[in-house]
């Protein structure tokens, strides 16, 4: 949540911040907020004035009583004030609620380093590894990417084909049981899934994320609204309407909620929390996108990183998070690039967002597998999380979105000559096998 006093003091500054996000609806929301905020403050002043008048009349009545003077006119005025005050207070309460709901929707001001633009205006910061590029796709690859690559002569198999040929996913039965975009993991994939999780937990714990949590898989509706930009995310959420609960879309939300109404000691920071959980998303609006395989699904497993630091340390912590996520990816041996998202593509809560995009040979493109961002004090203001007297900064980072990394491992590690998928060496102690053979 943005500081309403700062908006009030310099509305044009904040309007410019919203304009960077290139979202007309946000500008309309801001204008509605300004109008309601002004009306609410005027009503507050009117209510305060009536209370002051009520107190003044009460004093005058007492004085006149002592002197034996007539107080009928004052009594009539005194009786009229509660009626007027009640009307104003009711309207004031209504406007306050509307004002708060609009305030929740206003995005975080962006960091000055965020490039201005749309989805395709990201800035590529660096590359890692040598992506395998099919010979027919070399020209297109070189148009967008400036890095070394390996040319392959065989058309790479997509992860959606590989999961079937390896016999490790059953989409048809899952669809009969639960509907589209669900899946049943089978055989080696069950072990590989757990291996990725266990390796990631151990890796990030050694990087300073000492507290490991497994949060509730559901969250209260009113709590979720204080953690996320609900209007943007609401269509992705599974609602348990009877109980006012939501299935979590990421463990980051209940992690942040753990610190509602907390005051932390600066000497105990940075506070770094590591979580594993399933995540549930309706994938509304994704019709036609990644309909095959397990890249974009309604239920997946995720290891999440969350840091709480003083506000002036959030950029330093952001760099740290990006660095250790890159190190994790390097252990898996997957080619990737690091990109800084442009203004209209940044999470509405975030000041700046860095994505790690992993190479997918069959799609001949880098796909987002990790997001790391600082949201500054946007969440802390809503959940009342402080360091001493100041609001804290929250940062989140994908440790690993398991199903997407499985897809990346399959495509990058497929050996067409031996008809196997090689398992990254760091996972061998957890899997007990080094490869998965094609079965079909």
Q: What is the CATH number of the domain that holds 9?
A: 1.10.287.40
Q: How far apart are CA 265 and CA 388, in angstroms?
A: 6
pLDDT value for 188:
98
> Are both 195 and 234 inside the same structural domain?
yes
Mean pLDDT of 322-329: 98
pLDDT digits (tens, 9 = 90+) for 71-120: 787 788 778 888 889 899 999 999 999 999 999 999 999 999 999 999 99
| DSSP per-residue letters across 219-249 | EEHHHHHHHS-HHHHGGGPPEEGGGTEEE-S
| pLDDT of 219 strictly over 90 | yes
Residues 147 and 267 in one domain: yes
Same domain, 277 and 143: yes
Same domain, 63 and 130: no
pLDDT digits (tens, 9 = 90+) for 274-325: 999 999 999 866 667 787 899 999 999 999 999 999 999 999 999 999 999 9
Residue 58's pLDDT band, with cuts at 50, 70 and 90, is confident
Specify the residue for token string 């000055």.
112
Is residue 133 located within the same domain as residue 93? Answer: no
Q: What is the pLDDT of residues 255-274, one digit of tens each?
A: 999 999 999 999 999 999 99
Tokens of 243: 């109980």
> What is the span of the domain harbouring residue 28?
4-105
Length of the chain measured in residues: 440
Contact 308, 189 (CB under 8 A): no
Measured between alpha carbons, how far is 433 from 419 in angstroms, rounded to an integer?
A: 16
Segment 25-38 mean pLDDT: 96
First and final CA of the chain: distance in angstroms?
A: 53
Whether 34 is covered by a domain: the verdict is yes
User: Do 205 and 77 share a structural domain?
Assistant: no
As given in the structure block, the two tokens for residue 229 are 């930009």
Return the CATH number at 202: 3.30.930.10
Are residues 140 and 83 part of one domain? no
Does any domain span residue 364?
yes
Q: Quick count: other Cβ atoms within 10 Å of Cβ 125?
A: 13
Residues 273 and 225 in one domain: yes
What is the band of 329 on the pLDDT scale with cuts at 50, 70, 90?
A: very high
Of the candidates 105, 115, 18, 17, the one whose C-alpha atom is nearest the C-alpha of residue 354 is: 115
CB atoms within 10 A of CB 316: 12
The pairing of beta strand 336-340 with beta strand 123-128: antiparallel
In the chain, the number of structural domains is: 2
Say if CB 228 and CB 252 are below 8 A apart: no
Instruction: Determine which helix (DSSP H) or strand (DSSP E) holds 273, and give its type and residue range.
Output: strand 271-280
């Amino acid at each position: 949540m943005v500081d309403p006093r700062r908006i009030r003091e310099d509305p044009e500054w904040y309007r410019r911040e919203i304009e960077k996000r290139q979202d007309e609806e946000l500008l309309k929301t801001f204008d509605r907020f300004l109008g309601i905020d002004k009306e609410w403050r005027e009503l507050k002043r009117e209510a305060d004035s009536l209370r002051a008048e009520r107190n003044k009349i009460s004093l005058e009545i007492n004085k006149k009583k002592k002197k034996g003077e007539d107080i009928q006119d004052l009594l009539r005025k005194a009786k009229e004030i509660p009626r007027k005050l009640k009307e104003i207070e009711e309207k004031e309460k209504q406007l306050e609620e509307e004002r708060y709901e609009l305030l929740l929707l206003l995005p975080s001001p962006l960091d000055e380093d965020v490039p201005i633009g749309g989805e395709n205006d990201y800035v590529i910061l660096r590359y890692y590894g040598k992506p395998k590029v099919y010979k027919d796709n070399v020209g297109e690859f070189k148009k967008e990417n400036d890095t070394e690559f390996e040319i392959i002569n065989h058309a790479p198999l997509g992860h959606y084909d590989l999961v079937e040929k390896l016999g490790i996913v059953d989409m048809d039965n899952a669809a009969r049981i639960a509907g589209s975009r669900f899946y049943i993991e089978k055989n080696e994939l069950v072990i590989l899934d757990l291996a990725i999780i266990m390796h990631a937990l151990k890796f990030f714990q050694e990087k300073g994320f000492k507290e490991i949590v497994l949060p509730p898989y559901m969250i209260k509706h009113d709590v979720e609204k204080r953690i996320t930009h609900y209007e943007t995310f609401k269509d992705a959420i599974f609602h348990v309407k009877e109980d006012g609960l939501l299935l979590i879309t990421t463990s980051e939300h209940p992690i942040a909620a753990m610190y509602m109404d907390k005051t932390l000691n600066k000497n105990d920071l940075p506070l770094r929390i590591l979580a594993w959980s399933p995540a549930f998303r309706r994938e509304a609006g994704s019709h036609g996108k990644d309909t095959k395989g397990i890249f974009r699904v309604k239920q997946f497993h995720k290891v999440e990183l969350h840091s709480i630091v003083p506000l002036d340390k959030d950029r330093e912590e952001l760099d740290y998070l990006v660095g250790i996520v890159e190190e994790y990816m390097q252990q898996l041996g997957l080619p990737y690039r690091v990109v800084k998202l442009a203004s209209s593509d940044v999470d509405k809560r975030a000041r700046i967002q860095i994505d790690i995009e992993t190479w997918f040979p069959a799609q001949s493109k880098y796909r987002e597998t990790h997001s790391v961002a600082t949201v500054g004090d946007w969440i802390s203001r809503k959940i009342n999380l402080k360091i001493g007297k100041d609001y804290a900064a929250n940062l989140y980072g994908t440790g690993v979105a398991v199903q997407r990394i499985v897809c990346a491992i399959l495509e990058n590690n497929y050996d067409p000559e031996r008809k196997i998928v090689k398992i990254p060496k760091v996972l061998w102690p957890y899997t007990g096998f080094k490869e998965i053979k094609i079965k079909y």
